[in-house]
Structure 1
Amino acid sequence: MTTPTIKAPVLEMMELLEELAAFSAPGAGVSRLLYTPEWLRAHQFLQERMAALGMEVRRDEVGNVYGRFTGSQTADKVILTGSHIDTVLNGGKYDGAYGIAAAVTALHYLQQTFGQPLRTVEAVAFCEEEGSRFPITFWGSGNVTGMYNGSEADSCSDSRRVTISSAMEACGLERKPGKGPRREDIGAYVELHIEQGIVLEQSALEIGIVEAIAGQRRFHVKVGGTANHAGTTPMGLRRDALAGAAEMLLAMEQAAVQTGDPLVATCGKLEASPGTPNVIPGEVQFTLDIRHSEAEQLERYCSGIQAHFERIADSRGLTLELTATLATTPAPMDEGLKRLLEQISQQQGRSFRTMVSGAGHDAQLFAPLCPTAMIFVPSRAGISHSPDEYSSPEELAAGLNVLTAILYELAYKES
């Protein structure tokens, strides 16, 4: 494999990142929730920027924005690259937006340097991925890949009881009869993203080549006991829901450590009732978030933990309700594209490693449908979803040039 020397304009990408960060609700960091005024302004700005760079621009029914350079081989499927433009509340300016700014910059550079591609290339800004305003994630890519059919817009509402449909209408978006935003013309999808973890920084590596996006299981757990007086109830006669929950969570952690990487298991929320210092907790509710890149290992761990929880509850005379609230399957990335990214990294003299993504990304929805790849660059201290989110210009530039090179291979070379 021989790819021409790639020197994509880093300054152009950095300026676009800064300009996108300005579209934010007041407050710390960047807040750009789906279908809000700041979200709409960012999308309008992005469409104008894409058009000024000579791209064919369109916005689909849910608000995904595409900038295209049409290839000479029009019968071939589209090479798609990008990420999501929405943020969490008080997030950073790199998550999602970096992948968009890099995609636009890379395609503009390739068109200016090498002319018309063989295969059509598109930069996409997915309207939503985070689930920060509405209790639904991947609304943008989910409509493109067929995960959603649009009916969810009428039943899903935010904390102010505004439905997705109403919010879309306020942004000038209208659902139409027919297939909607779903696409079947995508030949490959490549996403560039900050790692949102500490692995690359700790390893002093420039590039992470994602081998799989972890599958995820979430549970809501309710442990029932007997609320009673803290001073008059002997220890041997208690049915303490909190003590039982604590034993369960310790067992969960120990089992996760024993299973080893890349499995992770987290309790992110715990509430004890009645929550009074001198009353034994009669009920505890907590959440579980469990992730692994291999479906069999993920299922085995979850089944084992549930059985362990039941044994603990029985031994303490407690009741147990465990309800599944989310189940996503692991998404392996394309082997051929992973090898290509390794070759590009070696050719550019960049240090790299393959790795599992514990966080979810739009790429996981494309993986079952077309060859899909993800590229990571380091995140300072692993911080993300925060105003303190940061990757250096040099780190961002490395990712941009690797992305540009793989897009050249996919769009400009005969297959």
Structure 2
Amino acid sequence: SGADIEAVRAQDVLIDKAAVKAYIELHIEQGPVMVARQLPLAVVSGIRGNVRHNRIECLGDAQHSGVVPRWLRHDAVFAVSDLVMRLDAHWRALLERGTDLVVTVGILQTDPAEHSISRIPGQVGFSLEARSKSTDTLEAFYQLVQAEVSAIARERGVSFRFDRRLLSEPATMDERLCALLSQACADQGAAYEVLPSGAGHDAALFANAGIPSAMLFIRNQNGSHNPHESMDLDDFMLGVQALSVAASRIA
């Protein structure tokens, strides 16, 4: 009669993990790689984790734009702009060293009830997300974020207020299951490659819980989170068949 809400809230394990032989997930690719390489299928090698804040607030001082000189301003927009550009510079430097990392500020907004062309913005809300296959990379980048926030707060005379930090651990897919999926793709005569996943998936939760896990991607035109995304049904059926064949071979 429904779920045990208290157990869910406590994040208790509600199944016998030893009774689960494997978890295999079929999913569209959410990026453009498979379309660009003309691959109907791909076996997922691992899944990036992420660290994120849904909302960070930069608090400055809202004043008239015409009467306050630069040295007396506490401009939240310029402060956040400084932060974004400094993080981009760190990101670029890390990529040049071969680090796996993507960084996104997906929400950036002043308060529509208060903002004005002639008003120095005193408050900006924004989100921040970093993704990587390495937990160490995520933690190191997060420490860079904290250092830059402290520096900009001093330089611009603003403060930053963070909501709860959310962390999703990276996951590696099971080698044996990946091999079974690869062989199943080959048996269907389908072109395929082994690719990492930049997006998070349920398979990561199962893998990090100690359950052997794997994923099979299906080509998807125009990616995901896009009203023009489009999966060909023939690609889907190839994936279903490969999934079925691989599952039948799990001892």
Q: How does the TM-score come out when normalised to structure 1? A: 0.54
Cα separation, 2, equivalents of 1:195 and 1:363: 14
Q: Following TM superposition, by how much is the alpha carbon of 1:386 offset from its aligned partner in structure 2, in angstroms?
A: 5.0
Alignment size in residue pairs: 241
Contact 1:262 1:356 in 2 (8 A): no
Alignment equivalent of 1:264, drawn from 102, 105, 110: 102
5+ residue gaps, structure 1: 1-59, 63-148, 155-178
Q: Following TM superposition, by how much is the alpha carbon of 1:264 offset from its aligned partner in structure 2, in angstroms?
A: 1.6
Secondary structure of residue in 1 paired with 2:194: strand
**Corresponding residue number in structure 1 for 2:20:** 186
5+ residue gaps, structure 2: none
Secondary structure of residue in 2 paired with 1:218: strand
**Corresponding residue number in structure 2 for 1:377:** 218
Secondary structure of residue in 2 paired with 1:201: helix
In the alignment, residue 23 of structure 2 is paired with which amino acid?
Answer: Y
Contact 1:333 1:373 in 2 (8 A): yes
In 2 relative to 1, CA 409–199 (structure 1 residues): closer, same or farther, beyond 3 Å? same
In 2 relative to 1, CA 209–180 (structure 1 residues): closer, same or farther, beyond 3 Å? closer
Alignment equivalent of 2:125, drawn from 260, 285, 305: 285
Indicate yes or no: 2:6 matched with 1:151: yes
Cα separation, 2, equivalents of 1:152 and 1:286: 33
In 2 relative to 1, CA 257–395 (structure 1 residues): closer, same or farther, beyond 3 Å? farther
Q: Following TM superposition, by how much is the alpha carbon of 1:336 offset from its aligned partner in structure 2, in angstroms?
A: 1.5
Q: Following TM superposition, by how much is the alpha carbon of 1:355 offset from its aligned partner in structure 2, in angstroms?
A: 2.1
Cα separation, 2, equivalents of 1:350 and 1:198: 18
Contact 2:184 2:243 in 1 (8 A): no
What's the Cα RMSD here?
2.4
**Corresponding residue number in structure 2 for 1:206:** 40
Cα separation, 1, equivalents of 2:92 and 2:240: 35
Deviations 1:24-78 (A, max 9, x none): xxxxxxxxxxxxxxxxxxxxxxxxxxxxxxxxxxxx945xxxxxxxxxxxxxxxx
Indicate yes or no: 2:55 matched with 1:217: no
Indicate yes or no: 2:135 matched with 1:301: no
Indicate yes or no: 2:102 matched with 1:249: no
Secondary structure of residue in 2 paired with 1:324: coil
In the alignment, residue 133 of structure 2 is paired with which amino acid?
Answer: S
Matches within 5 A, 1:103-122: none
Deviations 1:149-187 (A, max 9, x none): 522789xxxxxxxxxxxxxxxxxxxxxxxx995343111
**Corresponding residue number in structure 1 for 2:234:** 394
Secondary structure of residue in 2 paired with 1:211: strand
In 2 relative to 1, CA 250–342 (structure 1 residues): closer, same or farther, beyond 3 Å? same
Q: Following TM superposition, by how much is the alpha carbon of 1:267 offset from its aligned partner in structure 2, in angstroms?
A: 1.2
Contact 1:363 1:374 in 2 (8 A): yes
Cα separation, 1, equivalents of 2:118 and 2:104: 28
In 2 relative to 1, CA 153–374 (structure 1 residues): closer, same or farther, beyond 3 Å? closer
Q: How does the TM-score come out when normalised to structure 2? A: 0.86
Deviations 1:80-105 (A, max 9, x none): xxxxxxxxxxxxxxxxxxxxxxxxxx
Contact 2:23 2:203 in 1 (8 A): yes
In 2 relative to 1, CA 280–180 (structure 1 residues): closer, same or farther, beyond 3 Å? closer
Secondary structure of residue in 2 paired with 1:187: coil
Alignment equivalent of 1:227, drawn from 42, 46, 62: 62
Secondary structure of residue in 1 paired with 2:85: helix
In the alignment, residue 165 of structure 2 is paired with which amino acid?
Answer: T
**Corresponding residue number in structure 1 for 2:181:** 341
Secondary structure of residue in 2 paired with 1:406: helix
Q: Following TM superposition, by how much is the alpha carbon of 1:232 offset from its aligned partner in structure 2, in angstroms?
A: 0.8
Deviations 1:162-220 (A, max 9, x none): xxxxxxxxxxxxxxxxx995343111010101112211111211222111222121113
Q: Percent identity?
A: 32
Secondary structure of residue in 1 paired with 2:117: coil
Deviations 1:258-313 (A, max 9, x none): 33374221112122243121110112121112211211111111111221222222
In 2 relative to 1, CA 304–319 (structure 1 residues): closer, same or farther, beyond 3 Å? same
- Which stretch of structure 1 is more off in the superposition, 345-354 or 371-380? 345-354
Matches within 5 A, 1:89-128: none
Contact 2:100 2:134 in 1 (8 A): no
